[in-house]
Structure 1
């Protein structure tokens, strides 16, 4: 008699528990205790009793999703965006802005305290408007052959699938208003199935649009795009590949800060939250306590977001940036604003800097604004320069904590910590700290 192998059917039992949430982590997850370990719960707030689906259960912690709210927190608010439950762009629109900021500040202070051994405390929260703040957004485009429709929107949380948007309240109103007519116009193009993404940016001299297309556009499609750009007074750019950018019409975009004009290319990095960027730059300049005879070094300077405003108040400022195009744009903007005491250099700041022409200058103050990887490659050189003050702008608390240990071990003290609420309703924690020599 023949016997056939039959795999045993795996039976998964969903665990449902009821807990009381006691904290909110920096990512906007409720934190409770269950079976003697931390349980992180999406969609739950401190003070709430919730019914939770356990979705991941590890030895030291577990993760769950809110199934039902039994008692509701007074800090729970109604999300303004109709797409909030599907779109992965925001995670905390159900949380009051005050609680978002306080939970991020606590998470930042906790991490810095653990890593440095100090009693770190966030003594300043720099915040702006919780909605209508984003001046830049990239919207994915995906043509659905079965329904013959174009999807335009952001990715779902933990997925590559797009959520088709009708609005996005965190965008600047000028950009938010473009979403429905832009979707309608793109849907009418012959190349609708061969579009990659669209980028919207609000410069101080108007909005701009960059369209990534995957094959050459026919004349009729170009005409429709140009008509759309004229109707809505857009600067229009076409991107046939990742390297090429064709400006079809409009001026060179710029933004103003500290009475300076900074021009930029649509592909250049600029801070997404323009209002908070102004507050951040002003606070950094105040912490540096700039004097006429100061010589300042600005590392990871981009196109001069901090460098150029600093140049208005000091004898000399040097900006160093790894991306050549940004360093060149910074030099151009220095000339445009008649700042002749500002110099820009291009160098990979993860590599050795000691042989660089700017490295031996007698800088007495340093500002750095690295990417998420932090500034490990230049910390030893900063310590060698022995500046009086160091202002560190960070988009990653973990690498900030790591780099802080080098400064603290070399005779610096942590004088101020600010939370930068650069991305309301998201889990991003941005900060700025001031170090002074003992």
Structure 2
């Protein structure tokens, strides 16, 4: 059979080459150089030499896989999870915690073009207080698979242990597997969401067909025996509470109620420090008017309101705005106002934008906040704290403020997701001298 090759196709070499890694990127890939090109190699650490095969050859860089490792870094550690390397949840369990934090801080410093002042971290195991666990009934084995997606795949890894889950949630896994396996609807289950609230764990079961009375009773018995709150989700956008109390968590000593589907920070220990550091950096006192953009249900807004003269929170998700108002009332805070507005639109036309603020906090999603940067400059606050889950958009947005006479005076790396490639950060941005 004749084979035809496109002249534009870049053939990937299968030759074995020997390289030594000299850096680690934020995603846990070793970085090496070969013939003037940067190679990214999963599984290798700085100081390690290995025989590798290039798998994807680009003009400026290439990806490679390890054929044989020839030396071992002193920063290599034994992964704690038996599913590591197959499950897509963690990428860096083979890396010492010190190297993980150092490589992420260095990557942040490079992107922001200035040094990182501090690393805000907490426990590196048992830190996840929420997780979505996939469910799949395997006809061939007639068993229920329960776990997380494989790296780069929709296939499930059948997980029995997860050391990054909060211990109270990890302890639920064996009993939950047994309970769900006994349901008549076992073939028609979607996923479960596990959340550890301050007042105990909760479980949301997404089911793809109506549950029989017998199935509901089994689930209720399980919820009582495990002392958790049970929610059922017959549709993707609807949930109904069956047992237990409404969940809540604390932010800076204030009580915030939430719905199981509401966004809350996964890492409670880092969240508490992050909120405290934002308050400290803003130096909030009883004379301040503070603006909190992308405020959610009030994670930062309410602690700010406990100290400031007035706080305004703006959020694009209507249900979170309602929850924020409830939480303000719950905590007896009358000096805070919440607005439901799309911050990607022209904010100058929005009601909150006409008021003066001397301090601003923003905590946007991965896309950042390009639509509000110019308006922040018009407000001319003394201080801005930007909390970011994407350093690329933090770098872009802060550049707009720098061009307007501001400078970053504090930069912190938030170790919100140890053992993963997620890099979160926060920056204090203040008027430059003469700005």
Bin of the TM-score, shorter chain as denominator length: over 0.9
Partner of 1:116: none
1:140 to 129, 134, 138: 134
- Alignment RMSD: 1.2
Task: Tell whether 2:45 aligns with 1:49.
Answer: no
Task: Please give the alpha-carbon distance, in whole angstroms, between the structure 1 residues aligned to 2:249 and 2:116.
Answer: 30
Displacement of 1:9: 9.2
Worse-matched range after superposition: 104-113 or 281-290: 104-113
Task: Please give the alpha-carbon distance, in whole angstroms, between the structure 1 residues aligned to 2:163 and 2:177.
Answer: 17
User: Would the alpha carbon gap of residues 355 and 13 (structure 1) be closer, same or farther in structure 2, given more than 3 Å must change?
Assistant: closer
State whether residues 115 and 411 of structure 2, in contact with CA within 8 Å, keep that contact through their aligned partners in structure 1. Answer: yes
Partner of 1:117: none
Task: Please give the alpha-carbon distance, in whole angstroms, between the structure 2 residues aligned to 1:163 and 1:67.
Answer: 24
Partner of 2:8: none
Worse-matched range after superposition: 162-171 or 6-15: 6-15
Alpha-carbon displacement from aligned partner over 1:368-388 (angstroms, at most 9, x marks no partner):
000000000111111100000
Task: Please give the alpha-carbon distance, in whole angstroms, between the structure 2 residues aligned to 1:294 and 1:428.
Answer: 33
Partner of 1:413: 407
* Matched residue SS, 2:140: coil
Aligned ranges 1:227-376 → 2 under 5 Å: 227-376=221-370
Task: Please give the alpha-carbon distance, in whole angstroms, between the structure 1 residues aligned to 2:15 and 2:183.
Answer: 49
Displacement of 1:15: 2.7
Task: Please give the alpha-carbon distance, in whole angstroms, between the structure 2 residues aligned to 1:318 and 1:212.
Answer: 36
Partner of 1:8: 3
Gaps of 5+ in 1: 1-5, 114-119
Task: Please give the alpha-carbon distance, in whole angstroms, between the structure 1 residues aligned to 2:184 and 2:409.
Answer: 59
Task: Please give the alpha-carbon distance, in whole angstroms, between the structure 2 residues aligned to 1:203 and 1:24.
Answer: 35
Task: Please give the alpha-carbon distance, in whole angstroms, between the structure 1 residues aligned to 2:350 and 2:403.
Answer: 26
Worse-matched range after superposition: 348-357 or 130-139: 348-357
Alpha-carbon displacement from aligned partner over 1:59-79 (angstroms, at most 9, x marks no partner):
211111223221101100111
1:203 to 172, 197, 215: 197
State whether residues 20 and 47 of structure 2, in contact with CA within 8 Å, keep that contact through their aligned partners in structure 1. Answer: yes
User: Would the alpha carbon gap of residues 407 and 9 (structure 1) be closer, same or farther in structure 2, given more than 3 Å must change?
Assistant: closer
Q: What TM-score does the superposition give when structure 1 sets the normalisation length?
A: 0.96
Gaps of 5+ in 2: 6-10
Partner of 2:37: 37
* Matched residue SS, 2:372: helix
Task: Please give the alpha-carbon distance, in whole angstroms, between the structure 1 residues aligned to 2:34 and 2:148.
Answer: 34
Equivalent pairs counted in the alignment come to 427
Partner of 2:67: 67
State whether residues 12 and 55 of structure 2, in contact with CA within 8 Å, keep that contact through their aligned partners in structure 1. Answer: no
Task: Please give the alpha-carbon distance, in whole angstroms, between the structure 2 residues aligned to 1:395 and 1:344.
Answer: 23
